[in-house]
Amino acid sequence: MKSTRTMSFLAKFGIFCASLGLFFVLWEVAALSVGKSLILVGPIPVLQALIALLQNHLPRGILGIQGADAAILQTLATILFGFVLACIVGIPVGLIMGRWKTAEVLIDPWLSATYSIPIVILIPMLYFAIGADFYAEIFVTFLLTVFTIIVNTHHGVKYVSNALAEVGKSYGASESQFVTKIILPASMPDIISGMRIGMGRAILAAVLAEVLMSGNGLGGMMMTFQDVLNTPYMMAVVFLIALMGIAVLQLPKILERRLFRWKETESLSREIRR
Amino acid sequence: MKASYAKYGILPGTLIIFVAVWWVIAAEVNNSREIVGPLQTGRALVSLFTDPPLTRLLAAGLQVTITSILIGFALAVMVGIPIGVLMGRYLIADLFCDPWVNIWYSIPAIAFVPLTMNWTGVSSTSSVIIAFLITVFTVIINVYGGVKNISGSLVDCGAAYGASQTQILTKIILPATLPSIMVSLRLGISRAIEGVIIAEMVFTVVGIGGLMDDAADNLQLALSGALIIILAVISLVLAEVVKYTTRRAVAWKESQAMIRE
Protein backbone atom coordinates (compact mmCIF):
# COMPACT_ATOMS: atom_id res chain seq x y z
CA MET A 1 0.00 0.00 0.00
CA LYS A 2 1.24 3.45 -0.84
CA SER A 3 1.73 5.62 2.17
CA THR A 4 0.15 9.03 2.40
CA ARG A 5 3.54 10.70 2.13
CA THR A 6 4.33 9.38 -1.33
CA MET A 7 1.26 11.03 -2.76
CA SER A 8 1.87 14.57 -3.86
CA PHE A 9 -0.03 17.40 -2.26
CA LEU A 10 -1.55 18.21 -5.62
CA ALA A 11 -3.01 14.73 -6.03
CA LYS A 12 -4.47 14.86 -2.54
CA PHE A 13 -5.94 18.27 -3.19
CA GLY A 14 -7.35 17.00 -6.47
CA ILE A 15 -9.08 14.10 -4.77
CA PHE A 16 -10.46 16.42 -2.14
CA CYS A 17 -11.86 18.74 -4.81
CA ALA A 18 -13.34 15.78 -6.66
CA SER A 19 -14.98 14.62 -3.45
CA LEU A 20 -16.30 18.13 -2.81
CA GLY A 21 -17.60 18.40 -6.37
CA LEU A 22 -19.23 14.98 -6.22
CA PHE A 23 -21.03 15.97 -3.04
CA PHE A 24 -22.53 19.09 -4.58
CA VAL A 25 -23.46 17.24 -7.77
CA LEU A 26 -25.17 14.48 -5.77
CA TRP A 27 -26.97 17.09 -3.72
CA GLU A 28 -28.18 18.94 -6.81
CA VAL A 29 -29.28 15.69 -8.48
CA ALA A 30 -31.12 14.64 -5.34
CA ALA A 31 -32.83 18.02 -5.13
CA LEU A 32 -33.82 17.91 -8.81
CA SER A 33 -35.16 14.39 -8.58
CA VAL A 34 -37.17 15.18 -5.46
CA GLY A 35 -38.40 18.29 -7.20
CA LYS A 36 -40.13 19.75 -4.16
CA SER A 37 -38.45 22.77 -2.66
CA LEU A 38 -40.25 22.11 0.62
CA ILE A 39 -38.42 18.84 1.08
CA LEU A 40 -35.01 19.44 -0.36
CA VAL A 41 -33.50 22.40 -2.16
CA GLY A 42 -30.33 22.36 -4.20
CA PRO A 43 -27.06 23.92 -3.11
CA ILE A 44 -27.54 27.18 -5.02
CA PRO A 45 -30.62 28.57 -3.19
CA VAL A 46 -29.04 27.48 0.09
CA LEU A 47 -25.84 29.36 -0.68
CA GLN A 48 -27.88 32.41 -1.70
CA ALA A 49 -29.78 32.24 1.56
CA LEU A 50 -26.51 31.80 3.45
CA ILE A 51 -25.05 34.91 1.83
CA ALA A 52 -28.23 36.87 2.57
CA LEU A 53 -28.08 35.73 6.18
CA LEU A 54 -24.45 36.74 6.50
CA GLN A 55 -25.37 40.17 5.15
CA ASN A 56 -27.98 40.19 7.88
CA HIS A 57 -30.97 40.13 5.53
CA LEU A 58 -33.89 38.10 6.75
CA PRO A 59 -36.67 37.00 4.41
CA ARG A 60 -39.88 39.01 4.57
CA GLY A 61 -42.59 38.07 6.99
CA ILE A 62 -40.38 36.44 9.57
CA LEU A 63 -41.15 38.07 12.88
CA GLY A 64 -39.79 37.71 16.33
CA ILE A 65 -36.27 36.54 15.64
CA GLN A 66 -32.95 38.27 15.96
CA GLY A 67 -30.76 39.25 13.06
CA ALA A 68 -28.22 36.67 11.97
CA ASP A 69 -25.29 38.50 13.56
CA ALA A 70 -27.00 38.70 16.94
CA ALA A 71 -27.98 35.02 16.70
CA ILE A 72 -24.44 33.93 15.83
CA LEU A 73 -23.01 36.03 18.65
CA GLN A 74 -25.47 34.66 21.16
CA THR A 75 -24.83 31.05 20.20
CA LEU A 76 -21.08 31.56 20.23
CA ALA A 77 -21.28 33.25 23.63
CA THR A 78 -23.36 30.38 25.03
CA ILE A 79 -20.89 27.82 23.72
CA LEU A 80 -17.83 29.64 25.00
CA PHE A 81 -19.18 30.63 28.43
CA GLY A 82 -20.53 27.15 29.05
CA PHE A 83 -17.32 25.56 27.85
CA VAL A 84 -15.01 27.79 29.88
CA LEU A 85 -17.13 27.26 32.97
CA ALA A 86 -16.94 23.50 32.41
CA CYS A 87 -13.15 23.72 32.14
CA ILE A 88 -12.88 25.87 35.26
CA VAL A 89 -14.89 23.34 37.25
CA GLY A 90 -14.01 20.13 35.44
CA ILE A 91 -10.21 20.27 35.35
CA PRO A 92 -9.77 20.81 39.13
CA VAL A 93 -12.38 18.14 39.90
CA GLY A 94 -10.62 15.69 37.60
CA LEU A 95 -7.30 16.58 39.16
CA ILE A 96 -8.62 16.05 42.68
CA MET A 97 -10.17 12.74 41.65
CA GLY A 98 -6.90 11.57 40.16
CA ARG A 99 -4.88 12.55 43.23
CA TRP A 100 -7.25 11.73 46.06
CA LYS A 101 -8.79 8.28 46.31
CA THR A 102 -11.77 9.31 48.47
CA ALA A 103 -12.89 11.91 45.95
CA GLU A 104 -12.54 9.36 43.17
CA VAL A 105 -14.72 6.81 44.96
CA LEU A 106 -17.35 9.46 45.75
CA ILE A 107 -17.53 11.06 42.33
CA ASP A 108 -16.98 8.03 40.09
CA PRO A 109 -20.58 6.69 40.26
CA TRP A 110 -21.84 10.02 38.90
CA LEU A 111 -19.42 9.81 36.02
CA SER A 112 -20.34 6.20 35.29
CA ALA A 113 -23.98 7.22 35.20
CA THR A 114 -23.26 9.85 32.58
CA TYR A 115 -21.44 7.24 30.47
CA SER A 116 -24.71 5.50 29.81
CA ILE A 117 -27.46 8.03 30.54
CA PRO A 118 -27.67 10.99 28.19
CA ILE A 119 -27.94 14.18 30.24
CA VAL A 120 -30.05 15.81 27.55
CA ILE A 121 -33.11 14.14 29.06
CA LEU A 122 -32.91 16.64 31.93
CA ILE A 123 -33.48 19.67 29.71
CA PRO A 124 -37.31 19.73 29.87
CA MET A 125 -37.06 19.61 33.68
CA LEU A 126 -34.38 22.28 33.82
CA TYR A 127 -36.62 24.49 31.75
CA PHE A 128 -39.01 24.74 34.68
CA ALA A 129 -36.42 24.69 37.42
CA ILE A 130 -34.10 27.42 36.14
CA GLY A 131 -36.02 29.21 33.43
CA ALA A 132 -35.18 29.67 29.80
CA ASP A 133 -32.90 32.68 29.65
CA PHE A 134 -29.32 33.07 28.51
CA TYR A 135 -27.96 31.87 31.87
CA ALA A 136 -30.07 28.74 31.74
CA GLU A 137 -28.60 27.93 28.34
CA ILE A 138 -25.10 28.46 29.65
CA PHE A 139 -25.92 26.14 32.52
CA VAL A 140 -27.17 23.44 30.14
CA THR A 141 -24.01 23.81 28.06
CA PHE A 142 -21.92 23.57 31.20
CA LEU A 143 -23.78 20.49 32.39
CA LEU A 144 -23.40 18.62 29.12
CA THR A 145 -19.72 19.48 28.82
CA VAL A 146 -18.33 19.21 32.33
CA PHE A 147 -18.44 15.41 32.68
CA THR A 148 -16.41 14.88 29.53
CA ILE A 149 -13.77 17.26 30.86
CA ILE A 150 -13.72 15.59 34.28
CA VAL A 151 -13.46 12.08 32.81
CA ASN A 152 -10.56 12.97 30.54
CA THR A 153 -8.66 15.00 33.14
CA HIS A 154 -9.13 12.22 35.68
CA HIS A 155 -7.85 9.68 33.20
CA GLY A 156 -4.82 11.78 32.32
CA VAL A 157 -3.89 12.48 35.93
CA LYS A 158 -4.41 8.89 37.00
CA TYR A 159 -2.24 7.37 34.32
CA VAL A 160 0.76 9.68 34.55
CA SER A 161 3.72 7.42 34.02
CA ASN A 162 5.17 6.06 37.25
CA ALA A 163 8.70 6.82 36.12
CA LEU A 164 7.93 10.52 36.03
CA ALA A 165 6.15 10.48 39.37
CA GLU A 166 8.93 8.54 41.10
CA VAL A 167 11.68 10.85 39.90
CA GLY A 168 9.72 13.77 41.28
CA LYS A 169 9.17 12.02 44.60
CA SER A 170 12.76 10.93 45.02
CA TYR A 171 14.04 14.41 44.36
CA GLY A 172 11.81 15.62 47.16
CA ALA A 173 9.19 17.60 45.27
CA SER A 174 6.50 19.08 47.50
CA GLU A 175 2.86 18.23 46.70
CA SER A 176 2.26 21.57 44.98
CA GLN A 177 5.46 21.25 42.95
CA PHE A 178 4.55 17.69 42.16
CA VAL A 179 1.16 18.70 40.82
CA THR A 180 2.19 21.80 38.89
CA LYS A 181 5.53 20.58 37.56
CA ILE A 182 4.86 16.92 36.86
CA ILE A 183 1.22 15.90 36.94
CA LEU A 184 -0.26 18.81 35.01
CA PRO A 185 2.23 18.88 32.12
CA ALA A 186 2.17 15.11 31.79
CA SER A 187 -1.61 14.89 31.74
CA MET A 188 -2.09 17.94 29.55
CA PRO A 189 -2.61 15.93 26.33
CA ASP A 190 -5.53 14.09 27.91
CA ILE A 191 -6.95 17.31 29.32
CA ILE A 192 -6.83 18.93 25.90
CA SER A 193 -8.37 15.92 24.24
CA GLY A 194 -11.15 16.21 26.82
CA MET A 195 -11.52 19.84 25.88
CA ARG A 196 -11.80 18.89 22.23
CA ILE A 197 -14.54 16.36 22.81
CA GLY A 198 -16.10 18.75 25.32
CA MET A 199 -16.21 21.50 22.71
CA GLY A 200 -18.25 19.22 20.45
CA ARG A 201 -20.61 18.59 23.34
CA ALA A 202 -20.83 22.31 24.08
CA ILE A 203 -21.92 23.08 20.52
CA LEU A 204 -24.62 20.42 20.66
CA ALA A 205 -25.75 21.60 24.08
CA ALA A 206 -25.92 25.27 23.18
CA VAL A 207 -27.96 24.73 20.01
CA LEU A 208 -30.19 22.15 21.68
CA ALA A 209 -30.84 24.50 24.58
CA GLU A 210 -31.79 27.21 22.12
CA VAL A 211 -34.20 24.88 20.32
CA LEU A 212 -35.81 23.46 23.43
CA MET A 213 -35.63 26.39 25.82
CA SER A 214 -35.40 29.99 24.66
CA GLY A 215 -35.89 29.86 20.91
CA ASN A 216 -33.11 32.42 20.48
CA GLY A 217 -29.79 32.16 18.72
CA LEU A 218 -29.03 29.99 15.74
CA GLY A 219 -30.99 27.02 17.13
CA GLY A 220 -34.12 29.09 17.52
CA MET A 221 -33.60 30.65 14.11
CA MET A 222 -33.28 27.21 12.52
CA MET A 223 -36.53 26.02 14.06
CA THR A 224 -38.33 29.26 13.14
CA PHE A 225 -37.44 28.77 9.49
CA GLN A 226 -38.47 25.13 9.78
CA ASP A 227 -41.83 26.19 11.20
CA VAL A 228 -42.56 28.53 8.30
CA LEU A 229 -41.22 25.92 5.84
CA ASN A 230 -38.60 28.27 4.46
CA THR A 231 -36.30 25.42 3.49
CA PRO A 232 -33.41 27.38 1.88
CA TYR A 233 -33.00 29.60 4.93
CA MET A 234 -33.41 26.66 7.28
CA MET A 235 -30.70 24.73 5.47
CA ALA A 236 -28.53 27.85 5.42
CA VAL A 237 -28.77 28.06 9.21
CA VAL A 238 -27.95 24.33 9.48
CA PHE A 239 -24.93 25.07 7.32
CA LEU A 240 -23.99 27.97 9.55
CA ILE A 241 -24.22 25.80 12.65
CA ALA A 242 -22.10 23.13 11.00
CA LEU A 243 -19.51 25.69 9.89
CA MET A 244 -19.44 27.24 13.33
CA GLY A 245 -19.06 23.83 14.90
CA ILE A 246 -16.14 22.96 12.66
CA ALA A 247 -14.50 26.33 13.31
CA VAL A 248 -14.91 26.20 17.07
CA LEU A 249 -13.66 22.61 17.18
CA GLN A 250 -10.36 23.79 15.75
CA LEU A 251 -9.57 25.82 18.91
CA PRO A 252 -8.54 22.93 21.16
CA LYS A 253 -6.85 21.25 18.21
CA ILE A 254 -4.70 24.32 17.55
CA LEU A 255 -3.89 24.51 21.25
CA GLU A 256 -2.90 20.85 21.21
CA ARG A 257 -0.67 21.20 18.17
CA ARG A 258 1.01 24.26 19.66
CA LEU A 259 1.64 22.79 23.07
CA PHE A 260 2.54 19.25 22.12
CA ARG A 261 4.64 19.31 19.08
CA TRP A 262 7.02 17.22 21.19
CA LYS A 263 4.48 14.55 21.91
CA GLU A 264 2.67 12.29 19.47
CA THR A 265 -0.56 12.17 21.38
CA GLU A 266 -2.74 9.20 20.81
CA SER A 267 -5.70 11.37 21.65
CA LEU A 268 -5.19 13.27 18.42
CA SER A 269 -6.39 10.30 16.49
CA ARG A 270 -8.81 8.71 18.87
CA GLU A 271 -11.82 9.78 20.82
CA ILE A 272 -11.97 8.38 24.30
CA ARG A 273 -15.67 8.73 24.41
CA ARG A 274 -18.45 10.67 22.73
CA MET B 1 -10.87 -2.44 34.40
CA LYS B 2 -11.44 -1.43 38.00
CA ALA B 3 -13.93 -3.74 39.61
CA SER B 4 -13.50 -2.57 43.17
CA TYR B 5 -15.87 -3.89 45.73
CA ALA B 6 -16.12 -0.52 47.41
CA LYS B 7 -17.95 0.63 44.29
CA TYR B 8 -20.86 -1.66 45.00
CA GLY B 9 -21.27 -0.15 48.46
CA ILE B 10 -20.84 3.36 47.16
CA LEU B 11 -23.46 3.02 44.47
CA PRO B 12 -26.56 2.77 46.70
CA GLY B 13 -25.01 5.50 48.86
CA THR B 14 -24.75 7.82 45.88
CA LEU B 15 -28.32 7.08 44.91
CA ILE B 16 -29.52 7.86 48.43
CA ILE B 17 -27.56 11.13 48.47
CA PHE B 18 -29.03 12.05 45.10
CA VAL B 19 -32.60 11.43 46.23
CA ALA B 20 -32.00 13.24 49.52
CA VAL B 21 -30.58 16.34 47.81
CA TRP B 22 -33.44 16.28 45.32
CA TRP B 23 -35.93 16.01 48.19
CA VAL B 24 -34.41 18.92 50.12
CA ILE B 25 -34.26 21.17 47.05
CA ALA B 26 -37.85 20.33 46.12
CA ALA B 27 -39.01 21.00 49.69
CA GLU B 28 -37.11 24.30 49.78
CA VAL B 29 -38.47 25.53 46.46
CA ASN B 30 -41.91 24.18 47.33
CA ASN B 31 -43.45 25.03 43.98
CA SER B 32 -44.75 22.14 41.91
CA ARG B 33 -44.47 24.27 38.78
CA GLU B 34 -40.72 24.53 39.15
CA ILE B 35 -39.60 21.25 40.62
CA VAL B 36 -41.35 18.18 42.00
CA GLY B 37 -39.95 16.02 44.75
CA PRO B 38 -38.99 12.34 44.55
CA LEU B 39 -42.20 11.27 46.30
CA GLN B 40 -44.56 12.73 43.69
CA THR B 41 -42.29 11.51 40.90
CA GLY B 42 -42.33 8.03 42.42
CA ARG B 43 -46.12 8.14 42.57
CA ALA B 44 -46.24 9.18 38.91
CA LEU B 45 -43.87 6.35 38.10
CA VAL B 46 -46.19 3.86 39.80
CA SER B 47 -49.19 5.32 38.00
CA LEU B 48 -47.42 4.82 34.70
CA PHE B 49 -47.51 1.10 35.34
CA THR B 50 -50.92 0.85 37.05
CA ASP B 51 -53.12 3.37 35.27
CA PRO B 52 -54.31 1.61 32.06
CA PRO B 53 -54.39 4.64 29.70
CA LEU B 54 -50.95 5.74 30.84
CA THR B 55 -49.63 2.19 30.59
CA ARG B 56 -50.83 1.98 26.99
CA LEU B 57 -49.09 5.27 26.19
CA LEU B 58 -45.97 4.06 27.90
CA ALA B 59 -45.95 0.72 26.05
CA ALA B 60 -46.44 2.40 22.68
CA GLY B 61 -43.75 4.97 23.46
CA LEU B 62 -41.29 2.35 24.67
CA GLN B 63 -41.78 0.31 21.53
CA VAL B 64 -41.20 3.30 19.24
CA THR B 65 -38.19 4.63 21.13
CA ILE B 66 -36.40 1.31 21.51
CA THR B 67 -36.97 0.22 17.91
CA SER B 68 -35.80 3.63 16.63
CA ILE B 69 -32.60 3.36 18.65
CA LEU B 70 -31.91 -0.22 17.60
CA ILE B 71 -32.67 0.26 13.90
CA GLY B 72 -30.62 3.46 13.68
CA PHE B 73 -27.76 1.80 15.51
CA ALA B 74 -27.87 -1.38 13.41
CA LEU B 75 -27.94 0.58 10.14
CA ALA B 76 -25.04 2.75 11.28
CA VAL B 77 -23.01 -0.33 12.15
CA MET B 78 -23.81 -2.10 8.89
CA VAL B 79 -22.84 0.94 6.83
CA GLY B 80 -20.04 2.25 9.03
CA ILE B 81 -17.90 -0.86 9.39
CA PRO B 82 -17.42 -1.51 5.64
CA ILE B 83 -16.69 2.17 4.97
CA GLY B 84 -14.25 2.29 7.86
CA VAL B 85 -12.43 -0.82 6.60
CA LEU B 86 -12.32 0.50 3.04
CA MET B 87 -10.94 3.84 4.23
CA GLY B 88 -8.34 2.11 6.33
CA ARG B 89 -7.26 -0.19 3.49
CA TYR B 90 -7.36 2.00 0.42
CA LEU B 91 -5.69 5.37 0.24
CA ILE B 92 -8.07 6.64 -2.43
CA ALA B 93 -11.10 5.87 -0.28
CA ASP B 94 -9.32 7.45 2.67
CA LEU B 95 -8.57 10.71 0.89
CA PHE B 96 -11.99 10.76 -0.70
CA CYS B 97 -14.02 10.21 2.45
CA ASP B 98 -11.87 11.60 5.23
CA PRO B 99 -12.85 15.28 4.93
CA TRP B 100 -16.52 14.41 4.74
CA VAL B 101 -16.43 12.02 7.64
CA ASN B 102 -14.75 14.63 9.80
CA ILE B 103 -17.08 17.40 8.70
CA TRP B 104 -20.25 15.39 9.23
CA TYR B 105 -18.90 14.08 12.50
CA SER B 106 -18.55 17.66 13.77
CA ILE B 107 -22.16 18.56 13.04
CA PRO B 108 -24.24 18.46 16.21
CA ALA B 109 -27.18 16.03 16.16
CA ILE B 110 -29.71 18.80 16.65
CA ALA B 111 -28.77 20.31 13.28
CA PHE B 112 -30.10 17.19 11.56
CA VAL B 113 -33.49 17.46 13.25
CA PRO B 114 -35.10 20.16 11.05
CA LEU B 115 -33.69 18.51 7.92
CA THR B 116 -35.29 15.17 8.70
CA MET B 117 -38.51 16.94 9.63
CA ASN B 118 -38.62 18.11 6.03
CA TRP B 119 -37.76 14.71 4.63
CA THR B 120 -39.87 12.30 6.61
CA GLY B 121 -41.97 14.51 8.81
CA VAL B 122 -42.40 14.28 12.55
CA SER B 123 -42.15 10.52 12.76
CA SER B 124 -40.09 7.69 14.12
CA THR B 125 -38.44 7.37 10.70
CA SER B 126 -36.92 10.78 11.32
CA SER B 127 -35.54 9.65 14.70
CA VAL B 128 -34.03 6.60 13.00
CA ILE B 129 -32.34 8.81 10.38
CA ILE B 130 -30.95 11.10 13.07
CA ALA B 131 -29.70 8.17 15.14
CA PHE B 132 -28.09 6.73 12.02
CA LEU B 133 -26.46 10.00 10.98
CA ILE B 134 -24.86 10.76 14.30
CA THR B 135 -23.78 7.17 14.95
CA VAL B 136 -22.37 6.18 11.59
CA PHE B 137 -19.45 8.62 11.61
CA THR B 138 -18.38 7.54 15.10
CA VAL B 139 -18.33 3.95 13.85
CA ILE B 140 -16.42 4.88 10.69
CA ILE B 141 -13.80 6.89 12.58
CA ASN B 142 -13.15 4.15 15.14
CA VAL B 143 -13.04 1.28 12.63
CA TYR B 144 -10.82 3.35 10.36
CA GLY B 145 -8.45 4.05 13.23
CA GLY B 146 -8.40 0.37 14.10
CA VAL B 147 -7.59 -0.75 10.55
CA LYS B 148 -4.91 1.94 10.21
CA ASN B 149 -3.22 0.86 13.42
CA ILE B 150 -2.92 -2.81 12.50
CA SER B 151 0.72 -3.68 12.69
CA GLY B 152 2.16 -3.89 9.20
CA SER B 153 4.04 -7.07 10.01
CA LEU B 154 0.76 -8.97 10.38
CA VAL B 155 -0.38 -8.01 6.89
CA ASP B 156 3.07 -8.48 5.36
CA CYS B 157 3.30 -11.92 6.90
CA GLY B 158 -0.01 -12.91 5.36
CA ALA B 159 1.01 -11.52 2.00
CA ALA B 160 4.35 -13.32 2.15
CA TYR B 161 2.58 -16.63 2.71
CA GLY B 162 0.48 -15.93 -0.34
CA ALA B 163 -2.84 -14.97 1.20
CA SER B 164 -5.37 -13.56 -1.25
CA GLN B 165 -6.96 -10.15 -0.68
CA THR B 166 -10.11 -11.71 0.75
CA GLN B 167 -8.08 -13.95 3.02
CA ILE B 168 -6.09 -10.97 4.26
CA LEU B 169 -9.33 -9.14 4.90
CA THR B 170 -11.21 -11.91 6.70
CA LYS B 171 -8.32 -13.69 8.43
CA ILE B 172 -6.10 -10.76 9.37
CA ILE B 173 -7.72 -7.35 9.11
CA LEU B 174 -11.10 -8.11 10.63
CA PRO B 175 -9.86 -10.10 13.66
CA ALA B 176 -7.18 -7.50 14.35
CA THR B 177 -9.73 -4.68 14.08
CA LEU B 178 -12.32 -6.40 16.26
CA PRO B 179 -11.43 -4.49 19.44
CA SER B 180 -11.82 -1.17 17.65
CA ILE B 181 -15.09 -2.32 16.15
CA MET B 182 -16.32 -3.19 19.63
CA VAL B 183 -15.30 0.22 20.96
CA SER B 184 -17.14 1.83 18.08
CA LEU B 185 -20.26 -0.15 18.95
CA ARG B 186 -20.05 0.99 22.53
CA LEU B 187 -19.59 4.66 21.64
CA GLY B 188 -22.17 4.29 18.89
CA ILE B 189 -24.99 3.00 21.08
CA SER B 190 -24.65 6.03 23.39
CA ARG B 191 -24.84 8.35 20.45
CA ALA B 192 -27.79 6.52 18.92
CA ILE B 193 -29.66 6.74 22.21
CA GLU B 194 -28.88 10.42 22.56
CA GLY B 195 -29.85 11.13 18.96
CA VAL B 196 -33.23 9.44 19.26
CA ILE B 197 -33.98 11.19 22.53
CA ILE B 198 -32.99 14.60 21.15
CA ALA B 199 -35.15 14.04 18.07
CA GLU B 200 -38.12 12.91 20.14
CA MET B 201 -37.84 15.85 22.51
CA VAL B 202 -38.01 18.28 19.60
CA PHE B 203 -40.80 16.36 17.84
CA THR B 204 -42.81 16.13 21.10
CA VAL B 205 -45.25 13.58 19.67
CA VAL B 206 -43.05 10.55 19.11
CA GLY B 207 -41.86 8.00 21.63
CA ILE B 208 -40.94 8.33 25.29
CA GLY B 209 -38.90 11.48 24.67
CA GLY B 210 -42.00 13.04 23.14
CA LEU B 211 -44.22 11.92 26.00
CA MET B 212 -41.75 13.34 28.46
CA ASP B 213 -41.50 16.70 26.72
CA ASP B 214 -45.25 16.82 26.25
CA ALA B 215 -45.87 16.13 29.93
CA ALA B 216 -43.47 18.92 30.84
CA ASP B 217 -45.24 21.30 28.45
CA ASN B 218 -48.53 20.47 30.16
CA LEU B 219 -46.92 21.19 33.52
CA GLN B 220 -47.24 17.56 34.61
CA LEU B 221 -43.74 17.69 35.99
CA ALA B 222 -44.12 14.56 38.10
CA LEU B 223 -45.09 12.52 35.06
CA SER B 224 -42.27 14.08 33.08
CA GLY B 225 -39.82 13.21 35.85
CA ALA B 226 -41.08 9.62 35.91
CA LEU B 227 -40.56 9.36 32.16
CA ILE B 228 -37.04 10.76 32.55
CA ILE B 229 -36.34 7.94 34.99
CA ILE B 230 -37.69 5.41 32.50
CA LEU B 231 -35.56 6.87 29.70
CA ALA B 232 -32.52 6.77 31.96
CA VAL B 233 -33.19 3.10 32.72
CA ILE B 234 -33.61 2.26 29.01
CA SER B 235 -30.37 4.03 28.13
CA LEU B 236 -28.54 2.37 30.98
CA VAL B 237 -29.78 -1.10 30.04
CA LEU B 238 -29.06 -0.73 26.31
CA ALA B 239 -25.60 0.72 26.90
CA GLU B 240 -24.73 -1.93 29.47
CA VAL B 241 -25.94 -4.78 27.23
CA VAL B 242 -23.75 -3.55 24.38
CA LYS B 243 -20.85 -2.99 26.76
CA TYR B 244 -21.14 -6.50 28.21
CA THR B 245 -21.49 -8.17 24.82
CA THR B 246 -18.54 -6.32 23.34
CA ARG B 247 -16.39 -7.14 26.38
CA ARG B 248 -17.23 -10.80 25.95
CA ALA B 249 -16.52 -10.71 22.24
CA VAL B 250 -12.97 -9.50 22.66
CA ALA B 251 -12.18 -10.97 26.05
CA TRP B 252 -9.11 -12.57 24.47
CA LYS B 253 -7.56 -9.22 23.81
CA GLU B 254 -6.97 -6.50 26.34
CA SER B 255 -6.74 -3.81 23.77
CA GLN B 256 -5.26 -0.42 24.36
CA ALA B 257 -8.48 1.21 23.30
CA MET B 258 -10.49 -0.78 25.84
CA ILE B 259 -8.17 0.09 28.68
CA ARG B 260 -8.37 3.74 27.87
CA GLU B 261 -12.08 3.85 28.26
- Supply the pTM of this predicted model: 0.85
In a domain, B191, yes or no: yes
What's the longest Cα–Cα distance across chain A?
Answer: 74
Same domain for B143 and B208? yes
Same domain for B26 and B44? no
Which of B112, B141, B194 faces A120 most closely, judged by CB atoms? B194
Give mean pLDDT, residues B33-57: 86
What region does A172 belong to: left with phi over 0, alpha with psi -120 to 50, or beta? Answer: left
pLDDT bucket at B53, cuts 50 / 70 / 90: confident
Residue contact B108–A223, C-beta within 8 A: no
pLDDT at B72 over 70: yes
Residues of chain A short of pLDDT 50, as ranges, are: 1-3, 265-274
Nearest to A81 by CA among A160, A146, A127: A146
Tens of pLDDT, residues B167-195: 888 888 888 888 888 888 988 998 999 99
Same domain for B163 and B126? yes
Q: Which residues of chain A lie closer than 8 angstroms to B257, CB-CB?
A: 270
Q: Which class for A138: exposed (0-12), middle (13-18), buried (19 or more C-beta within 10 A)? A: buried
Give mean pLDDT, residues B194-210: 88
Fold of the A71-268 domain: MetI-like fold (1.10.3720)
Residue contact B216–A127, C-beta within 8 A: yes
Tens of pLDDT, residues A82-101: 999 999 999 999 999 888 88
Provide the pLDDT for residue A163: 77
Distance (Å, rounded) from C-alpha B134 to C-alpha B249?
Answer: 24
In a domain, B115, yes or no: yes
Q: Does A10 contact chain B (CB < 8 Å)?
A: no
Give mean pLDDT, residues B51-67: 89
Nearest to B190 by CA among B50, B61, B72: B72
Q: Which residues of chain A lie closer than 8 angstroms to B144, CB-CB?
A: none
In a domain, B221, yes or no: yes
Residue contact A19–B96, C-beta within 8 A: yes
SS (H, E, C) B83-141: HHHHHHHCHHHHHHHHHHHHHHHHCCHHHHHHHHHHHHCCCHHHHHHHHHHHHHHHHHH
Which of A211, A270, A272 faces B202 most closely, judged by CB atoms? A211
Axis-axis angle for helices B38-50, B221-249 (nearest 10): 80
Calculate the CA B223 to chain-centre distance.
24
Of residues A216 and B71, the one with the higher pLDDT is B71
Residue contact B118–A231, C-beta within 8 A: yes
Closest Cα in chain B to A130: B34
Q: Residues 36..75 of A with a Cβ closer than 8 Å to B: which?
A: 38-40
Provide the pLDDT for residue B35: 80
Q: Does A24 contact chain B (CB < 8 Å)?
A: no
Letter string b/e over residues B75-110, b meaning 16 or more CB atoms within 10 A of that residue's CB: bbbeebbebbbbbbbebebbbbbbebbeebbbbbbb
Other beta carbons less than 10 A from residue B72's beta carbon: 29
Provide the pLDDT for residue B261: 42
pLDDT at B30 over 80: no
CB of B249 closer than 8 Å to CB of B189: no
Q: Which residues of chain A lie closer than 8 angstroms to B212, CB-CB?
A: 121, 124
Same domain for B177 and B224? yes
Provide the pLDDT for residue A77: 92
Domain CATH code at residue B48: 1.10.3720.10
CB of B129 closer than 8 Å to CB of B116: yes
Tens of pLDDT, residues B92-111: 888 888 878 888 888 888 88
Q: Which residues of chain B lie closer than 8 angstroms to A113, CB-CB?
A: 236
Q: Which residues of chain B lie closer than 8 angstroms to A221, CB-CB?
A: none
- Name the residue range of residue B70's domain: 40-260
The shortest C-alpha distance from B58 to chain A (Å) reads 16
Share of chain B above pLDDT 70, in %: 93
Tens of pLDDT, residues B213-253: 888 888 888 888 899 889 888 898 998 898 888 888 777 66
CB of B258 closer than 8 Å to CB of B250: yes
Other beta carbons less than 10 A from residue B222's beta carbon: 21
Residue contact A129–B145, C-beta within 8 A: no
Counted domains in chain B: 2
pLDDT bucket at B1, cuts 50 / 70 / 90: very low
Residue contact A203–B103, C-beta within 8 A: no
SS3 B243: helix
ipTM over 0.90: no
Same domain for B18 and B97? no
CB of A145 closer than 8 Å to CB of A206: no
Provide the pLDDT for residue A63: 65
Same domain for B87 and B6? no
Query: Which amino acid is present at A34?
Result: V
Q: Which residues of chain A lie closer than 8 angstroms to B213, CB-CB?
A: 124, 212
Q: Which residues contact B244 (CB under 8 A, 6 or more apart)?
A: none
